[in-house]
């Protein structure tokens, strides 16, 4: 396999490295099918080559930096400061003036069913896959795809292919191996092989606990997959997290607490999500955050009187609790099924998670008077930290050129991902590959 046919792997510059595994020239490990390593060989037409000067952006990096200029070259921010002199015309710099509007890092959504979720009430309830416009229209420039209940008719191979498709369309995309059930579905035969050898796979999940749809895993099973995930993450220089779906079951996070008490695994390996679905579960989750876990709030709709916290309410309560502010994130569950069950496990109502829920939550928080710099890390830098993506989640020199501009009403005005505009003046501007082919 030639290096030219492979997308760059973050954190590695050696042409013989794939996801952290050193390979001989033109070879792949003999136990793994060669197709696992396929990367689109077509030119990445979505990657810009121009230099762009963005003037007068009120930067929240996520900390407030005031009005600054940003210089973007290709996919990277190469300069950020108070005032950059005009550059020579020969460089072909495109200059845009944002007139003091707020610029924030592109949102990172750590929990998205990019291939579609659902299936709990039959084949007709399968949710269709998401598009790049679904993501960037909601300010999401980096996404982590995963499988849920249906890890039978959907598999890691299709998830990986969809993830790579999103990368070729210009956003940053990663995925998790496995799904709700243990033993997890994998490509190479085990989670260590998937994480170490496959570029886009950075962890395992979403493994279900405290849910009637789970495989009812034992503590021993949970510890085994957590240990494999941790070691593989170390070997590959990746996140190495076990992303845990929390259901409505009364056991809540008891198994995670027991896992921390009865193993040497770092708390950061265990990454529970949907922790705001029950108020008692949320209190348990705050305790885990104090112990070193990063907990994830889901931006699902909450009705009056429901025994749950909205993501907005949950984030404020978390930050007010004096738990470590860096140990909380917010995700959308975009493309996922949001079912309600009766006492017999039958679906009585179903909604669908939407990527736009992230920016919607951010807007609710801003309208309630929360300072942008206080709440923004849960959507940006905190997510980059747990996912070990050092060039994401912040605005600054050397960071990836992922930017969202907010208007005076806290709506999305502009979105840039990897140096390319996807939204300008509140309108989508970047066509996907199938739309381009019909021009």
Give the model confidence (pLDDT) of 275-302 as tens digits.
999 999 999 999 999 999 999 999 998 9
Residue 197 confidence (pLDDT)? 97
Whether the domain at 51-104+393-428 and the domain at 107-387 fall into the same CATH topology: no
Tell which wins on pLDDT, 66 or 116. Answer: 66
3-state secondary structure the chain: CCHHHCCCCCCCCCCCEECCEECCCCCCCCCCCHHHHCCCCCCCCCCCCCEEEEEEEEEECCCEEEEEEEEEECCEEEEEECCCCCCCHHHCCEEEECCCCEEEECEEEEEECCCCCECCCCHHHECCCCCHHHHHCCCEEEEEECCCCCCCCCCHHHHHHHHHHHHHCCCEEEEEECCCCCCCCCCCCCHHHHHHHCCCEEEEEEEEECCCCCCCCCHHHHHHHHHHHHHHHHHHCCCCEEEEEECCCCCCCHHHHHHHHCCCCCHHHEEEECCCCCHHHHHHHHHHHHHCCCEEEECCCCCCCCCCCCHHHHHHHHHHCCCCHHHEEEECCECCEEEEECCCCCEEEEEECCCCHHHHHHHHHHHCCCCHHHHHHHHCHHHHHHHCCCCCCCCCCCCECCEEEECCCCCEEEEEECCEEEEECCEECCCCHHHHHCC
pLDDT score of 184 more than 60: yes
What CATH code is assigned to 107-387?
A: 3.20.20.140
pLDDT at position 391 is: 97
Residue 46 clears pLDDT 60, i.e. is over it: no
Choice among 150, 211, 333, 414 that is catalytic: 333
Mean pLDDT of the chain: 85
Least confident of 41-50, 109-118, 276-285, 344-353: 41-50
Is the pLDDT assigned to residue 17 strictly greater than 60?
Answer: no
Region 30-50 average pLDDT: 41
pLDDT of residue 15: 32
Q: For domain 51-104+393-428, give the fold.
A: Urease, subunit C; domain 1 (2.30.40)
Residue 353's pLDDT is 67
**Is 333 marked active-site?**
yes
Percent of the chain residues past pLDDT 90, beyond the cut: 72
The pLDDT assigned to 123 comes to: 53
Sorted by where each begins, the domain ranges of the chain are 51-104+393-428, 107-387
């Amino acid at each position: 396999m030639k290096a030219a046919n492979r997308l760059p792997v973050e954190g590695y510059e050696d042409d013989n490295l794939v996801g952290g595994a050193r390979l001989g020239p033109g070879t792949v490990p003999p136990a793994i099918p060669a197709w696992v390593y396929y990367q689109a060989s077509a030119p990445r037409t979505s990657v810009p080559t121009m230099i762009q000067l963005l003037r007068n952006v009120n930067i929240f990096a996520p900390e407030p930096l005031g009005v600054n200029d940003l210089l973007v070259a290709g996919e990277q921010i190469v300069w950020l400061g108070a005032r950059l002199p005009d550059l020579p015309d020969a460089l072909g710099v495109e200059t845009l003036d944002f007139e003091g509007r707020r610029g924030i890092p592109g949102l990172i959504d750590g929990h998205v069913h990019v291939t579609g979720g659902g299936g709990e009430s039959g084949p007709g309830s399968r949710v269709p896959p998401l598009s790049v416009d679904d993501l960037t229209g909601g300010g999401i420039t980096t996404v982590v795809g995963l499988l849920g209940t249906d890890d039978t008719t959907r598999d890691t191979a299709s998830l990986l292919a969809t993830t790579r498709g999103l990368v070729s369309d210009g956003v940053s995309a990663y995925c998790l191996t496995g799904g709700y059930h243990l033993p997890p579905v994998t490509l190479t035969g085990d989670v260590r092989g998937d994480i170490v050898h496959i570029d886009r796979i950075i962890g395992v999940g979403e493994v279900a606990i405290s849910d009637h749809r789970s495989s009812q895993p034992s503590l021993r099973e949970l510890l085994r997959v957590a240990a494999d995930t941790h070691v593989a993450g170390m070997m590959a220089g990746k996140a190495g997290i076990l992303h845990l779906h929390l259901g409505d079951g009364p056991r809540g996070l008891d198994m995670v607490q027991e896992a921390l008490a009865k193993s040497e695994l770092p708390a950061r390996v265990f990454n529970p999500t949907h922790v705001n679905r029950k108020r008692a579960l949320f209190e348990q989750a705050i305790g885990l955050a104090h112990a070193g876990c990063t907990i994830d709030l889901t931006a699902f709709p909450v009705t009056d009187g429901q025994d749950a916290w909205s993501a907005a309410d949950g984030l404020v309560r978390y930050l007010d609790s004096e738990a470590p502010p860096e140990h909380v994130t917010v995700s959308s569950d975009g493309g996922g099924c949001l079912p309600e069950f009766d006492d017999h496990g039958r679906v009585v109502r179903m909604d669908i998670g939407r990527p736009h829920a992230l920016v919607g939550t951010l807007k609710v928080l801003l309208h309630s008077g929360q300072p942008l710099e206080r709440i923004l890390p849960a959507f940006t830098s905190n997510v980059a930290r747990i996912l070990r993506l050092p060039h994401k989640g912040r605005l600054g020199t050397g960071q990836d050129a992922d930017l969202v501009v907010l208007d005076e009403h806290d709506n999305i005005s502009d979105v840039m991902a990897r140096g390319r505009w996807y939204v300008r003046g509140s309108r989508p501007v970047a066509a996907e590959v199938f739309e381009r082919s019909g021009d």
